[in-house]
Amino acid sequence: MNEYGKIYMNLERLIKKKRINKTPLSYLCRVLEYKLSDLIIYEPPKG
């Protein structure tokens, strides 16, 4: 499993445990970065 998968799974676990407020903001930002880069990579070509 890649880094993105690990981070995403950890985030899901935290959300399920309702511990999201205790998660460092930098960690959440990193997850978001991975999310965004994923969206950019898989964005269908225009035209």
Q: Can you give the pLDDT at residue 47? A: 62
Q: Can you give the pLDDT at residue 32? A: 78
Q: Can you give the pLDDT at residue 4? A: 74
In a domain, 46, yes or no: no
For the chain, what is the domain count? 1
In a domain, 26, yes or no: yes
Q: Can you give the pLDDT at residue 44? A: 60
In a domain, 12, yes or no: yes
In a domain, 24, yes or no: yes
Full residue range of the structural domain in which residue 7 is found? 3-41
Q: Can you give the pLDDT at residue 6? A: 80
Structure tokens at 31: 């997850």
Q: What's the Cα-to-Cα distance from 27 to each of 42, 45, 47, rounded to whole Å? A: 23, 30, 36
In a domain, 47, yes or no: no
pLDDT digits (tens, 9 = 90+) for 3-47: 777 877 877 777 777 665 666 777 777 777 777 776 665 556 666
Q: Can you give the pLDDT at residue 8? A: 76
